[in-house]
Amino acid sequence: MAAAPALKHWRTTVERVEKFVSPLYFTDCNLRGRLFGASCPVAALSSFLTPDRLPYQEAVQRDFRPAQVGCSFGPTWWTCWFRVELTIPEAWVGQEVHLCWESDGEGLVWRDGEPVQGLTKEGKKTSYVLTDRLGERDPRSLTLYVEVACNGLLGAGKGSIIAAPDPEKMFQLSRAELAVFHRDVHMLLVDLELLLGIAKGLGKDNQRSFQALYTANQMVNVCDPAQPETFPVAQALASRFFGQRGGESQHTIHATGHCHIDTAWLWPFKETMRKCARSWVTALQLMERNPEFIFACSQAQQLEWVKNRYPGLHSRLQEFARRGQFVPVGGTWVEMDGNLPSGEAMVRQFLQGQNFFLQEFGKMCSEQFWLPDTFGYSAQLPQIMHGCGIRRFLTQKLSWNLVNSFPHHTFFWEGLDGSRVLVHFPPGDSYGMQGSVEEVLKTVANNRDKGRANHSAFLFGFGDGGGGPTQTMLDRLKRLSNTDGLPRVQLSSPRQLFSALESDSGQLCTWVGELFLELHNGTYTTHAQIKKGNRECERILHDVELLSSLALARSAQFLYPAAQLQHLWRLLLLNQFHDVVTGSCIQIVAEEAMCHYEDIRSHGNTLLSTAAAALCAGEPGPEGLLIVNTLPWKRTEVMALPKPGGAHSLGLTPSPGDGAQHGLCSCSSPHLTAAPAAPAACVRTARGLLVWEAPTDSASRPPPTKTDGSVTLDNGIIRVKLDPTGRLTSLVLVASGREAIAEGAVGNQFVLFDDVPLYWDAWDVMDYHLETRKPVLGQAGTLAVGTEGGLRGSAWFLLQISPNSRLSQEVVLDVGCPYVRFHTEVHWHEAHKFLKVEFPARVRSSQATYEIQFGHLQRPTHYNTSWDWARFEVWAHRWMDLSEHGFGLALLNDCKYGASVQGSVLSLSLLRAPKAPDATADMGRHEFTYALMPHKGSFQDAGVIQAAYSLNFPLLALPAPSPAPATSWSAFSLSSPAVVLETVKQAESSPQRRSLVLRLYEAHGSHVDCWLHLSLPVQEAILCDLLERPDPAGHLPLRDSRLKLTFSPFQVLSLLLVLQPPPH
Ligand SMILES: [Zn+2]
């Protein structure tokens, strides 16, 4: 007979139910204590330790020694392989039997030579289902292997997750036994926890909350944990509650399984390969058990690793992709940083990624771009997505904004060129949900587009270090499919979500421009060597592709190094992962990244020489150097030319390709017709190259040091005055006499800041660092004249930054050059300091301009609003500019990304000294160059963009093994300085490999018609997208070797050129 109704106290009722499901309290009599029934030890346990990450076949051959529960193993990054021999007792027939395994580290179960499930305590995976129901005739004895990596889901930080790894950490096996699992108890626990979540989440003002709490209370009343026959009554109470439906207007949550795996972060790249296997094999197992479960997986690189190391797992992933349960998303090679990679590198993320997805899964990821965990998003991404066949984008990182709360979760994003994509941020502000009621309610409550968007994404599964979803998460979400008082929850694919959002998008707002993350602004600067490697390798691959393309067009014998280039590009793209190029990784990862750059440098240089040799073959002329200009405009520059015996001499090299307006390629030969600004004489070098050698009265006139110790450099274009400590006291545009340095101020002023963030050391520089500014003052008399004029004038100085760190700098001005360069070497040994260099300009403007991918944008120079102030430290690529009407000052760099302009002061961020997660980050020697360019008129008309390219792409002087061509030659020229020919490469899929792809963009921010002149044997020209798919209406008429192209502001165009067959 039921007890009479009674008054219930809210808190005691809640806590009563909590205790009934608690894993800590009253487990002797509560429901949780009955989750597992009978248990028995495994029959035999043995193990061996190895520092290597061995393949299974090799590991099982090793010498396993007896082991016991309680044993410890390690240290960090080692692997302990366990052989687990087990026999299930006959008495357990009819029961569900698990191997219960609890150990530190990350485990992977192998059965019959294949990985079957991951085991991690942190990822709530501590049991492996041996059988759902043991049959009478089932084999009861088997042998499993468990491969345990000596690192946690989030690495092995000493004391805190982002601390440097503890190399001595030891790991322990605390449980390994067989046990009977009570599925009915599990389901009751899921229901009771959900009811508790509803009661607490909806709170005391809500009718439904009490219904949930009283239902749970009644379940506890009727349920006797010791008597399973009482469970159905409790289950019926729960089913009645969850079966009460919501109304038609309910918000719909689209729950997709996910597992964010950082491609390298607090663990090395090689561990990520195993993290993928552990996480994805577990997800597959869940797909098998839950046919409605959909799992979204990004990053082609990780899939490629699994394909190579775990081919069986890869085939199963392909099978589940065909079923629509395993959904590849994003389309990129890795989830790259959204700020630092060049435009071309971003295109290659998609090109390499999409081609991989097409090849392995039969289709590209056309549904959405996927970048949930990246530290800001370039304003060019919408156009790049469009060009790669994608119109939708999912992320959530802007929820980390420190200052301003982003006003949308669902909106249209309009990029720099006007391209629009539909964007969704899961309103739960996470990509690693657990399926709790709290998260479900937050998803509804937190949605900033209530009334505009009635669908939300809900990404569930342990992430960052892998892990992924669990059965419990799925059980919770399935139970919440349609319950009054809660949003509807359906297991969906990202495609279903976006289709629902798109079909009802009429009221959505639009955000224009970059999605700037107001946090992690230190990642533009941390790990300067990685940044330098990135910029340099982007340049090398650009040059190799260009030269190889020209060799392909001009030589029937030349084989384009497609496979090598793909390999090198993939290394570069890998390093652009959002915890590598950003410098937020541990020391081992940084070292691996540097090895990748070294590979690109050495192989890239070999490929350059090979292409140069092919270009020289068969032409008459003296042996010597091949001078190559890899930029699409004329250049006259002073270069250091190698002399026999390893020395260098300076030569003034006019633009190759004199016949065309913009020379691309030329060779060493007497074709130096572009006269330099100054009188000069021609001489022939020992190696057969003509160089200009300026007489002593040339335009570059560094007078000797004045008596006050200052130095003036003057090339007739700009005049630079340095004070006796190397600071810039004046920078004058000679023709107009216009001064660029603010009155009474000095430029080239190094400044040191205290740099102690709140927590995320390598990531964050906080606003308050600006309050600790300390100018670094040098000693008079340290400035000396370097090169005494002629083609080049220079001065140099030493500067003690602190007792531990010092700097030397050469300030260089070349004949004909519109900018002064600062070659800088720093020996940096600091802790939590930030080094910048400042240039106060005699320019007033409320906006400064910064280069980004395929274009530039403006950001404020003031702190009017919280949105302005939150951008106290921003990113830029090769240049930034502060201009007023008629005049401006540009600051160029060859490997830096952090910058700011406050008021009239241009500031370039040089070096940081964070200590976590890599205590050695940025310690040691650095070399970098920045340059200052005052200019008349706009930066566009003054050629700032071209100057920044020139600084980053020096003319190449490649040894020509055979006679170099006798005539100089230009492959391409453009009629408008607004258009940049960024890339020339072989087409990915090209008949007989004789098609090229050209990528051009409009760089000034203008509508422009432009003629492209080609001197290659082109038979057909077709517009194509960024994935090189021809536009059916894109055939361009080719007249007199010219093509007409029309650009809108910042538009990127790709062109497929089919070359004529080679001459026989
Ligand atoms: Zn991440």
What confidence tens digit (pLDDT) does each residue in 371-388 have? 999 999 999 999 999 999
Task: Assess whether pLDDT exceeds 60 at residue 701.
Answer: no
> How many whole angstroms from 523 Cα to the centroid of ligand 1?
14
- pLDDT at site 628: 85
Q: Is the peptide bond before 917 cis (omega within 30 degrees of 0)?
A: yes
Of 695, 681, 647, the closest CA to residue 672 belongs to 681
Ligand 1 centroid – CA 189 distance (Å): 32
Q: What does the pLDDT read at residue 613? A: 87
263 C-alpha vs ligand 1 centroid, how far in Å?
8
Paired residues of 146 in beta bridges: 82, 109
Q: Is 189 left (phi over 0), alpha (psi -120 to 50) or beta?
A: alpha
Could you tell me which residue, 958 or 180, shows the higher pLDDT?
Answer: 180
Q: Looking at residues 335-350, what average pLDDT do you find?
A: 98
- Rounded to whole angstroms, the Cα distance separating 1004 from 941 reads 9
807 vs 697, residue with greater confidence: 807
Strand partners, 460: 257, 433
Predicted confidence (pLDDT) per residue in 922-932, tens digit = 999 999 999 99
Element (H, E) at 381: helix 381-387
- Any catalytic annotation for residue 132? no
Counting Cα atoms < 13 Å in the Cβ hemisphere of 1011 gives 12
Using CA atoms, how far apart are residues 413 and 505, in angstroms rounded to an integer?
13
Residue 665 binned pLDDT confidence (cut-offs 50, 70, 90): very low
Q: Which residues contact 480 (CB under 8 A, 6 or more apart)?
A: 194, 242, 437, 440, 486, 489
Tell me the average pLDDT across 901-908: 98
The confidence score (pLDDT) of residue 699 equals: 44
Ligand 1 mean position, distance from CA 730 (Å): 46
Phi/psi-derived region of residue 737, left when phi > 0, alpha when psi is between -120 and 50, beta in every other case = left
CA of 900 to the centre of ligand 1 (A): 26
Question: Which pLDDT band holds residue 66 (cuts at 50, 70, 90)?
Answer: very high
How far away, in angstroms, is 358 Cα from ligand 1 center? Answer: 24
d(CA 1062, CA 1064): 6
Distance (angstroms) between ligand 1 centre and the Cα of 38 equals 41
Dist. CA 443–CA 437, nearest whole Å: 10
Centre of ligand 1 from the C-alpha of residue 337, in Å: 10
Compute φ and ψ for 1058, nearest 5 degrees: -90, 120
Confidence of residue 1010 (pLDDT cuts 50, 70, 90): very high
Tokens 């503890």, residue located: 166
The dihedrals phi and psi of 563, each to the nearest 5 degrees, come to -65, -45
Q: What is the mean pLDDT of residues 223-248?
A: 97
Query: For residue 258, what are the contacts with CB-CB under 8 A and spacing of at least 6?
Result: 295, 296, 297, 431, 432, 459, 460, 461, 463, 468, 469
pTM recorded for the entire structure: 0.95
Q: How confident is the model at residue 44 (pLDDT cuts 50, 70, 90)?
A: very high
CA of 531 to the centre of ligand 1 (A): 19
Other CB atoms within a 10 A radius of the CB of residue 224 amount to: 15
CA of 51 to the centre of ligand 1 (A): 26
CA of 579 to the centre of ligand 1 (A): 7
User: Looking at 76-80, 180-184, 730-734, 957-961, which range is the least confident one?
Assistant: 957-961
For 865, the 3-state DSSP assignment is coil
Which pLDDT does position 646 carry in this prediction? Answer: 67
Q: Could you read off the pLDDT of 359-374 as tens digits, one per residue? A: 999 999 988 999 999 9
φ/ψ region of 203 (left if φ > 0, alpha if ψ in -120 to 50, else beta) reads: left
pLDDT exceeds cutoff 70 at 656: no
Please name the amino acid found at residue 29.
C
Query: Tens digits of per-residue pLDDT, 846-903?
Result: 999 999 999 999 999 999 999 999 999 999 999 999 999 999 999 999 999 999 999 9
674 pLDDT above the threshold of 60: no
Mean model confidence pLDDT for the chain: 92
| pLDDT tops 70 at residue 161 | yes
Give residue 540 CA to ligand 1 midpoint distance, Å.
28
Please write the tens of the pLDDT for every residue from 437-470: 999 999 999 999 999 999 999 999 999 999 999 9
Structural contact between residues 422 and 501, judged by C-beta atoms closer than 8 angstroms: yes
Q: What is the pLDDT of residue 549?
A: 94
Candidate list 373, 417, 464, 761, residue with the active-site label: 373
The structure tokens listed for 968 are: 């100089």
Of residues 708 and 340, which shows the higher confidence score?
340
CA–centroid distance, 374 to ligand 1, in Å, is 7
CA-based nearest residue to 894, from 821, 957, 958:
821
What number is the average pLDDT over the span 665-680?
27
C-alpha triplet 395, 397, 400: angle, nearest 5°: 155
Residue 805 reports pLDDT greater than 70: yes
Residue 618, pLDDT score:
61
